[in-house]
Amino acid sequence: MYLPDFEYYAPDSIAEACQLLSQFGAKAKVLAGGTDMVVKMKNELLAPEVVVSVKNLEQLKKIEYVAGKGVCVGALCTHNDLVKSDVLKERYPSVANAARQMANNQVRNRGTVGGNISNAVPSADLPPIFIALNATAKLVGTKGERTVAMEDLFTGPGKTVMAQDELIAEVFIPDQKMTGSNYIKFGLRKSGALAVVGVAVAVQVENGVIKDARVALGAVAATPVRAKKTEEFLKGKNATDDVLAEAGVIASGECKPISDIRASAEYRTDLVRIFTKRALRKAVDEGHV
Amino acid sequence: MSSFVVDKDGIKRYAVTVNVNGSDYTKVIKANTLLVNLLRDDLDLTGTKRGCELGDCGCCTVMLDGNPVNACLVLAIDCDGREITTIEGIQDGEDLDIVQEKFIEHAGFQCGFCTPGMIVSSRALLNENPSPTEYEVREAIAGNLCRCTGYVNIVAAVLDAAENL
């Protein structure tokens, strides 16, 4: 299988990349890991006239802890960079474990954080855990940079608030009071399967009482969504099995899944109930796993 | 940015240098050339197989700077200046690698089409983790599909290789 011809650019700076995206408009596409884009090009779902390879933007390949602020994840980190990151292992193993559940090893070695987010696939594995951890995305364009909350980034399947000339530069996970977080996913196989349902939670627990909670659901709506009623319900409650089970019931009422080749809407709704309960239990008992 | 020439049809052709199995090769290629095609068509390294060509089957697995990737999804031009190890580069001179020996000993293949990718993925795992658990072996080769379904012997071969590194 061969790709159609395209003009190729490999800019050395973010500014140059944005300039190219602005200059060529809708004709241009950003190429990072290619695990999604090259497949789409082969399947004739995409035919960019201009490909802007971001392989040279080394500054976007770092994961760092900024003292007193939070963890900064460069958009060109691959999923396996997250899995192997000492910073994440120490602070948010939940993020590393979410990355580890994506696709297979070969894809995790190429597919990037920025690609997983900007493709805006509703079943993507990283957005829910980033939303649960209140992360933000730094977008850079020709008119400057802006910061967007991860939960506000997605507008529909394959759609985000990003402008044509904007790139995701980094994801920032702020220091927080949450004591535990967790992402669990149900796929039809253990590996190489899209999420049928993905549930990410973060909780702040003190003396057995849930002070704060964030719950984000993947693959059960047009975008990853927060289950805000579930979060409100949890606040101030004791983290008992009954309370977490009730939270699961509420969360299953907050999602709007579709039926497709992988699962029916009814099945997905019930999975949300179970997985929300399980993810909460893990986050309460085990911390940021 | 790689240097290029414009051919008579107005298409840019780029000079790309890749280190494959320890030797540098410079080839003049179009930007849309995929790594798997550079290896097979331009370098005659046909041990790397074309399977699904969509990143699902892992037949085209090679190491890129030591990490297994699907060569069918990587632009060759994006590999300029980088190191690639294919199945042909796994063995040590005339001697087979321990992983290859153990695949033979355990009959870790039937039709053999997935084998190059399986061995590259397995070798990459052992380079990073010389004493993997069975789970870790299965995780490492989860992106390599064996349509003969001979996974039991493959996993046994990799675990045995790990014990004899």
Domain shared by B103 and B79, yes or no: no
pLDDT along chain B (165 residues), means of 10: 84 96 97 98 98 96 98 98 97 93 96 98 98 97 96 98 97
> DSSP label at A25?
G
Domain shared by B123 and B153, yes or no: yes
d(CA B30, CA A59): 27
Contacts of A105 in chain B (CB under 8 A): 68, 121, 139-143
Phi, psi torsion values for A60, nearest 5 degrees: -100, 15
For residue B113, give the CATH number of its domain: 1.10.150.120
Last residue of a domain, one of B37, B56, B89: B89
d(CA B106, CA A50): 48
At A195-213, the pLDDT tens digits run 999 999 999 999 999 999 9
**Structural domains of chain A, with CATH:** 7-53 (3.30.43.10), 58-174 (3.30.465.10), 180-286 (3.30.390.50)
Domain shared by B54 and B77, yes or no: yes
At residue A216, the 3 state secondary structure works out as: strand
Q: A207 CB contacts (<8 Å, ≥6 apart)?
A: none
At residue A166, the 3 state secondary structure works out as: coil
Contacts of B30 in chain A (CB under 8 A): 5
Q: Count of CB atoms within 10 A of residue A59's CB?
A: 12
Q: Count of CB atoms within 10 A of residue B84's CB?
A: 27
Give the per-residue pLDDT at B95.
94
Total domains, chain B: 2
Among the listed residues B153, B55, B5, B52, the one whose alpha carbon sits nearest the alpha carbon of residue A108: B55
Domain of residue B75 covers: 4-89
Sequential DSSP letters for chain B = ---EEE-TTS-EEEEEEEEETTEEEEEEEETT-BHHHIIIIIS--TTSPPSSSSSSS-TTEEEETTEEEEGGGSBGGGGTT-EEE-GGGTSBTTBPPHHHHHHHHTT--SS-SSHHHHHHHHHHHHHH-SS--HHHHHHHTTTS--TT--HHHHHHHHHHHHHT-
Given an 8 Å threshold on Cβ–Cβ distance, is A38 in contact with B73? yes
User: How big, in percent rounded to 5, are the helix, strand and coil portions of chain A?
Assistant: 35, 25, 35
Q: Is the pLDDT reported for residue A163 higher than 80?
A: yes
Q: How high does pLDDT run on average in chain A?
A: 97
Phi, psi torsion values for A147, nearest 5 degrees: -115, 130
Contacts of B122 in chain A (CB under 8 A): none
d(CA A10, CA A18): 12
User: Is A268 within 8 Å of A186 (Cβ atoms)?
Assistant: no
Q: Is the pLDDT reported for residue A160 higher than 70?
A: yes
Minimum distance, in Å, between the CA of residue A149 and any CA atom of chain B: 31
The helix or strand, by DSSP H or E, that contains position A8, with its residue range, turns out to be strand A7-9
Q: Count of CB atoms within 10 A of residue B54's CB?
A: 16
Give the per-residue pLDDT at B119.
98
Q: Compare all CA atoms of chain A with the CA of B30 and give the residue at the minimum distance.
A: A5
For residue B38, give the CATH number of its domain: 3.10.20.30
User: Is A92 within 8 Å of A172 (Cβ atoms)?
Assistant: no
Q: Is the dihedral of CA A147, A152, A156, A158 positive or negative?
A: positive
Contacts of A103 in chain B (CB under 8 A): 143
Domain shared by B102 and B143, yes or no: yes
Domain shared by B105 and B154, yes or no: yes
Q: Is the pLDDT reported for residue A174 higher than 80?
A: yes
Q: Count of CB atoms within 10 A of residue B159's CB?
A: 18
Q: A35 CB contacts (<8 Å, ≥6 apart)?
A: A103, A107, A110, A111, A115, B55, B70, B73
Domain shared by B63 and B138, yes or no: no
Given an 8 Å threshold on Cβ–Cβ distance, is B1 in contact with A9? yes
Last residue of a domain, one of B89, B120, B136: B89
At A25-60, the pLDDT tens digits run 999 999 999 999 999 999 999 999 999 999 999 999
Minimum distance, in Å, between the CA of residue B60 and any CA atom of chain A: 10
Last residue of a domain, one of B37, B54, B89: B89
Domain shared by B70 and B104, yes or no: no
Domain shared by B18 and B70, yes or no: yes
Q: Is the pLDDT reported for residue A268 higher than 90?
A: yes
Domain shared by B85 and B8, yes or no: yes
Domain shared by B110 and B38, yes or no: no
Domain shared by B76 and B131, yes or no: no
Give the per-residue pLDDT at B1.
60
Give the per-residue pLDDT at A118.
97
Q: Is the pLDDT reported for residue A82 higher than 80?
A: yes
Domain shared by B19 and B66, yes or no: yes
Q: Is the pLDDT reported for residue A97 higher than 90?
A: yes
